[in-house]
Structure 1
Amino acid sequence: MNGSVIRNLSLSSVMLIVVSGCVSPEVAKETVTADTQRPVLIIKPVEYKKEVKPISVPTSTATSKSKVIDGKASYYANMFQGRKTANGQIFDQGKLTAAHRTLPFGTKVKVTNINNHKSVIVTINDRGPFIRGRIIDLSSSAFKAIGNPRTGVLNVTMEILK
């Protein structure tokens, strides 16, 4: 390096040291305090009650103790095996379960095939079917108990037991 460049750098650094020593630190007269407490949000659990709309039942098929509904039943595809149902249970094709759009979970329903009068009692644990004209979606084993799965859809009566 050139001698003049070294001399200029050293002179500049000495000047910076001298100037910085002359400056006195200014102490803040006002102390700013920050509130370190965070607001607490308390969430109370809300009880959710879903209103179940009553099912219109023709008077000719209604019995004095239970409601009977005529319609079509289908069954679950195998792709739903092992998946969660609407109430949180794991779906099993081997159990006698079914899906209904509005009935409460745990409701027992007797489903009777109109053609051969075979019936099965299932428990509602899912929502559906979402195909127009169908009133209940049965597990594969429940469907096999009352009809041939090759038909896909059966004409049934559905009696709400409990």
Structure 2
Amino acid sequence: MNWSVIRYWGLGTLALIIASGCTTSDQPSNKLTADTKRPVLIIKPVEHKKSNKVIYGKASFYANMFQGRKTANGQIFDQGKLTAAHRTLAFGTKVKVTNVSNNKSVIVTVNDRGPFVRGRMIDLSSSAFRAIGNTRSGVLNVKMEILK
């Protein structure tokens, strides 16, 4: 092939590459732009201390076989302490549990997960359960107030 033909093809290709770089595309750019001149207002929810969450449900108590075993947060379970198990509340949450039939109540600390029996809301240590009802009943209708 002749060198002059190669040179013309090379210059023509170079001209097309340069010309294609100068054109604009009809497609929108994918760049995200933010208007930084406008102030952003962040509104935080206001917490009211008087509005404790109240939930009605059924409470049961731990069997004696759990005495001395580790709870979900790593503590050793003791039937004599006022503790409880709840499926979702954070460990260390204080909860006031009131028996709706006799209006007796006890404040317990959540330190375990459970109960894993359908229809039950909270599992109490036997001493906490005895404070509000008779252990022979096994299950109590209770009102649970989340304190802290």
Same fold (TM over 0.5): yes
- Tell me which residue corresponds to 2:144: 158
Q: Distance in 2 between matches of 1:64 and 1:119?
A: 18
The alpha-carbon deviation at position 64 of structure 1 amounts to 4.7
Match of 1:144 among 130, 133, 136: 130
- Tell me which residue corresponds to 2:9: none
CA offsets 1:123-146 (integer angstroms, 9 cap, x no match): 000000011111000000000000
The alpha-carbon deviation at position 104 of structure 1 amounts to 0.1
Query: Aligned pair 1:99/2:47, yes or no?
Result: no
Give the % identical residues.
83
Q: How does 1:34-113 map to 2 (within 5 A)?
A: 64-113=50-99
Where in structure 1 do 4 or more consecutive aligned residues deviate above 2 Å? none
Gaps of 5+ in 1: 1-62
Structure with the greater alpha carbon radius of gyration: 1
Aligned residues: 100
Match of 1:128 among 80, 97, 114: 114
Question: Aligned-residue CA RMSD in angstroms?
Answer: 1.1
Q: Distance in 1 between matches of 2:134 and 2:125?
A: 13
Q: TM-score when scaled to structure 1?
A: 0.61
Q: Distance in 2 between matches of 1:91 and 1:100?
A: 14
- Tell me which residue corresponds to 2:24: none
Answer 1 or 2: higher relative contact order, Cα 8 Å, separation at least 6: 2
Gaps of 5+ in 2: 1-48
Aligned amino acid, residue 133 of structure 2: G
Aligned amino acid, residue 93 of structure 1: Q
